[in-house]
Structure 1
Amino acid sequence: MSHYQRIACLCTEAVETLYLLGAEHLIAGISGFTVYPPEARQHKPKISGFSSGKLEKILAVEPDLVVAYSSLQSDIVKDVADAGVDVQHFNHRDLAGVLRMVRVLGSLTGKEREAATLAASLQAAIDTAAAESAANDAAGLPRPLVYFEEWPDPIITGIGWVGELIELAGGRDAYAEHAPFVRAKERIVADPLTVAARAPDLIVGSWCGKRFRPETLLERDGWQQVPAVRNFARGHVIEIKSADILAPGPTLLTRGLPQLQALIRQWHADRAAGALA
């Protein structure tokens, strides 16, 4: 069976996955927002942004397949298709979709066996985390309320897979009702005081494409009595880099999930030691 030989990746998670599959030699170009693996930025030409890209620059690397993600890339995907190039346009918003993406890319590149192995390892990470959380539940340990902030102004809460990761790590998503919403504007919280009123035990900031400034939370009116903010000095307010938790690929489970688990384990340890303010 003939497989694609020159793949232009407009999304970072496709790059990461193809490297993990041993198919990096097939990558003809990458998004400028690519983070993992770092060597991709050194060796592969950058051909697009995330929500923007010039067709001429993409076509210049002579792709036979363009891989894209989300409705934000719909316009450039249409232009690519009109130019006669095949397109694989992913739009998953959950962990199950990450596993599907891995298998699809494996099929498109002749790396089915490697994709099955990678998907199995990611599923094992999910199962192990779920078992640990279930054991904590059975032992009567409470689940901390975790507030995840994707953007500060306006405040935007976490997308679907973030809520899944919080639950897997043993927490409760403070804005679980927002998780099903695909579009960021549907996850806007207009009044910061309503976040404070939910009194999250832990806060995670992951401002997409921008460094999280935890001190801004201390400056928000009414946030000084939030449990997470009161325990600020104990590390109950942290940043998880957006590349680790907002790019819907393997990194969600290899980097994002372990950081959430460490945060929640520390909360349990502080609670057991009577160290919570």
Structure 2
Amino acid sequence: MTRIDHGPQRIVCLTEETTEWLYLLGQAHRIVGISGYTVRPPQARREKPKVSAFLTAKIDQILALRPDHVFGFSDLQADIAAALIRAGVAVTVFNQRSVEEIFSMLYQVAAMVGCADEGLAHIAAMRARLDAIRAEVAALEAAGKRRPRVYFEEWDEPPISGIRWVSELLGIAGGDDIFPELAAQPLGKDRTITDATEIIRRAPDIVIGSWCGKKFRAERVAARPGWQGVPAVRDGQLFEIKSADILQPGPAALTDGVEQLHRIVRNWMQQHA
């Protein structure tokens, strides 16, 4: 039977999450260009031209690929989007910041490429796993285990706490974000912790680092002035989750990212009343 591809045929993905999603949907053949930061899936780096960073893009190279649609993410790519629109390219820039907004983006992309049913099946499986994690956490709480206080750090100098979808996934995984008021802020500059002693005061039981684009150094965190008495440092509860697994607002965060959060939190809960 002849395959009929609906929707855009030549897509450039300026961030990783739409690339990963199209591969999961079996639509990799539509992708003609990707972000240079893409690591998921690994074959995308081998197969597709890299035409953008995050804040910048090679507009001439993108146009040379003759895309009929470009997918971007966030207000930070507004200038790239504007340049492409002026050149006559159709552009969709998503701005998902919560778990539900991620699911909405996934459905919209699936529908745009004629894979609404396949997309819904993947989404249902992800939702089912999140519900299973919630049930595991509820069972631990029913057994008298308390939820840990967790500090999630996106950047170290200055310290920036986790974005909304990370905070929400942390809650699903069984932890309590120590900066929930900052998680609601969409921009990194608004999640900057101006007084680092406030982290000490909130006494996290666990510290999780995901320093966007560089390796998390637990020993540097432990050596910060005044941190020796922080429960997470005292008990050796400092962990890294790679930014590609948790800071990409797409399939990665809803699968591998939340699983890693849950593993860290579950191990702590099992050891503490």
TM-score band w.r.t. shorter chain: over 0.9
Does the aligned pair in 2 maintain the 1:102–1:118 contact within 8 Å? no
What pairs with 1:138-149 in structure 2 (closer than 5 Å)?
A: 138-149=142-153
Of 169, 177, 180, the match for 1:176? 180
What pairs with 1:70-149 in structure 2 (closer than 5 Å)?
A: 70-149=74-153
- More displaced stretch, 238-247 vs 185-194: 185-194
Corresponding residue number in structure 2 for 1:259: 260
Corresponding residue number in structure 1 for 2:241: 240
Instruction: Give the structure-2-normalised TM-score.
Output: 0.96
- More displaced stretch, 117-126 vs 12-21: 117-126
Q: Deviations over 1:197-235 (max 9, x none)?
A: 111000000000111111111221110000000111xxx
**C-alpha displacement at 1:136, in angstroms?**
2.5
SS at match of 1:261: helix
SS at match of 1:29: strand
What pairs with 1:51-70 in structure 2 (closer than 5 Å)?
A: 51-70=55-74
CA distance in 2, matches of 1:167, 1:53: 35
CA distance in 2, matches of 1:253, 1:79: 31
Corresponding residue number in structure 2 for 1:194: 198
CA distance in 2, matches of 1:268, 1:120: 28
Q: Deviations over 1:122-181 (max 9, x none)?
A: 111221112222223333321100100000001100000011011101110011111110
Does the aligned pair in 2 maintain the 1:202–1:227 contact within 8 Å? yes
Of 166, 169, 186, the match for 2:170? 166
1:270 maps to 2:267 = no
- Identity value in percent: 47
**C-alpha displacement at 1:67, in angstroms?**
0.2
What pairs with 1:145-160 in structure 2 (closer than 5 Å)?
A: 145-160=149-164
Q: Which amino acid aligns with 1:245?
A: I
Q: Which amino acid aligns with 1:238?
A: F
CA distance in 1, matches of 2:165, 2:105: 14
1:9 maps to 2:10 = no
Does the aligned pair in 1 maintain the 2:140–2:269 contact within 8 Å? no
CA distance in 1, matches of 2:270, 2:139: 16
- More displaced stretch, 132-141 vs 160-169: 132-141
CA distance in 2, matches of 1:239, 1:22: 31
Question: Alpha carbon RMSD of aligned pairs, Å?
Answer: 1.2
How many positions carry a matched residue from both structures?
A: 269
